[in-house]
Structure 1
Amino acid sequence: MSERILAGRALPALLLLASLVLAACASAPAARPQAALSERLPVFWADERFAEDTGAQMKGELALALSEDMEQFAQRSLVPMASRIGGPQALFSALFERGRVVVEYSSDYTRNASEAWSARRGNCLSLALMTAAYARRLGVEPHFHLVRTPNVWSRGERLNFLVRHVNVTLVGDGSDGSVLAAPGSQGLTVDFVPPNRRIREVVKEISEATVLAMYLNNLASEAMDGGRYDQSYQLVKQALLRDPALPEAYNTLGLVLQRRGATDKAEAALRQSLALAPEGVAALSNLLALLEQRGGAAAQAELPQLRERLAAVQPRAPFADFDAGEVALAQGDAEGALAAFLRQREVTGDDARIEQMLATSYARLGRFSEARDALRLALEYSDNEGQRHELSAKKKLLLQARAQQP
């Protein structure tokens, strides 16, 4: 995952937009607003409603740490190569040796640098952290970038995620023979992009503090998706302590506070998210849902304005047709489900879960050849190892069912 932003989903699930990217590197004019936001953070805390998690602070400190295995690889391969061709090129060659990516993109969950290297897989944020950790070991300065892509949505167990993209550019200092330190040089960009997200445009450099805040916010979002609310709260607190101007973290905080009944503070956190990013679709969706549930004259009076603002940035819920398809399947209407999932595919594009549901719809209609093709596409689009196992098992069952047909 790259940047994950939790967003609206049909009830009873709550909404969340947990994002991994935000502001540019802090500059002198931004120092006072950052300080003011930092001083205000205690207003949003509700420690009495959550158990402590002593490991939350360590998560951020370990994000860029090299493991013993990474250090051995650096000494054995990277350092000697860097002495010949420069640190940036050495690291790039090691990660993409002979055109083959040594590590794979995977959207299953967010890993730190050492976890990504150990698994040889991770989302774009995890792989950017891993690359940056190795770069620092070689004396190369990593520069993180927020990358603009068309909105890409994914579904968790309880939440929807708006996925954004982060990459890292390596800039040598010239001491290792690197030519990337020349004035005006943009360095060597290392980018791990899923095959279905090739169109991209770098729009902003972001600071390491922001990247670490995004990492912690991702972990908080994933913990919330798994129902681990105490852990989610402590992680998002750490995210905001690192970057008190990260809108997505206030959105995550608002949702976890709402889950524990701290409605007033949840509303305040969501409004802070919108103050920092007025068109934030997740915070708009979540604030709208909170006020609808809360009731009261003041809340009801604000709802039309919020609905109008949300409609301007998101005219239709990202998985409206997917939800309709699931309802149709549950009601035994495979034709209606198929039509809904096909509409969702037009909106979302290449998506393993949509193809899986299309396969289910086709199979219930006895259209086994089309079901097989949909499962093939689901396997092709999937970047989640657990999901691939599930899809492979379903493909075997489908072939067995087809063989039993008269």
Structure 2
Amino acid sequence: MTTSLKIDNIKRHVERDIDKLKIEYTLYSPPGVDPWVEVRFRDEKGNEIARVSVRRDRKSLLAYFNGAKENAERLASILSVLGAKVEVKEYGGDWRVNLYTDSITAIRRVEWLDAVRALVEELHKRGLIGKEQRDRLLTEINAGPNVVEIAGAELSVWFREKETKSGKTKWLVIVYQPGSSAAFDAAVKALKGAGFVEGVHFTAKRPEGGAKGHVYLKMPTSIWRLEELRRQGIDWAERALRRLEEIAKARGFSDLLEEYLRPAREAETVDPRGLVAEDAERGIKAVIRGVRVEWDNNRPRVVVEYEINGVVKTFYFTWGATGGRIQASVRLNDEKALVLATLLGDEAIKGKSGTVKLVTNHLFALTRLRGIGWELLRWYAGATKNDTEFYSL
């Protein structure tokens, strides 16, 4: 019988008695040695059935066991039933079970969490970790697992920030770390099948030659695609976004997620047809008849049609990505400026004449318009795929 099948059999027995499982821990902190916690699992009669140690591993935590195969399999089955993702592997005759922070925090039993918190507090008390690292680890313990399922793959979610000359820079990391080439291929195939484009919505590196692989979702374009799928009624996309919101709330980066999602959440929520652009002082009143996108060498040309004094008129402008900038130029007079200001919701455009430059914020304002929003967002995602500075918070 293979190890995985044996663990599955043990799991079935553990699941029946999981409510009777008792968890105890002892914190060890001898001088000159990093502290650790030993967690023991006991059955209803008080007999010890498994144990595992938890210690610091650089900037994260590690729960580990080395020993006999039977004991490793029993421990793995218990941890798995409690919610952790766990594997048993052989190294030099010993059988090992290793869990890192994300799997450690997936176990939500109070006694287990108390043990892990006690270790973190002791590490801080002894000056082995700083306040910032202690707070981060405690947040992860309290928040629970940072995993979201997207297109059938489980991805880890991380919030990052750093100080720069211009202030704090914040960003979101969503990554899948496949355990094998087959898992990598399946994840990439599933993402592509859901309309995610490599280079636009994600980057991927296949595991080979002993090197680990990964699939990184690109921000914010990947979650724009999730929102687009949610709008189309795709259930797993709805669940993924809901889970991302739960993780963001628990870990304190809801504002960042909302900022990333805003263009997609607002996409095509405004019908431009029938909007009235009026300037009483100048005696101008125009009714917008429609807005559409035409294509000029893979660049979106936005065509605006409006009616004034019974006459239908149009003007257009074409977006491009050059020199690290998203921009368009448009020639305006009083009435065109009034119409464009109404579409953009930008009073500063009113009264302008001659050639006016439009920038990224204006593009996002246009994505709110029904019939052109998703086309513009898709173009933007492709146009900025090689430049991480286009969208910064």
- Structure with the larger RCO, 1 or 2 (CA within 8 Å, 6+ apart): 1
Between Structure 1 and Structure 2, the one with more helix by share is 1
TM-score by length of 2: 0.22
Determine which structure has more spread, i.e. the larger CA radius of gyration: 2
Larger relative strand fraction: 2
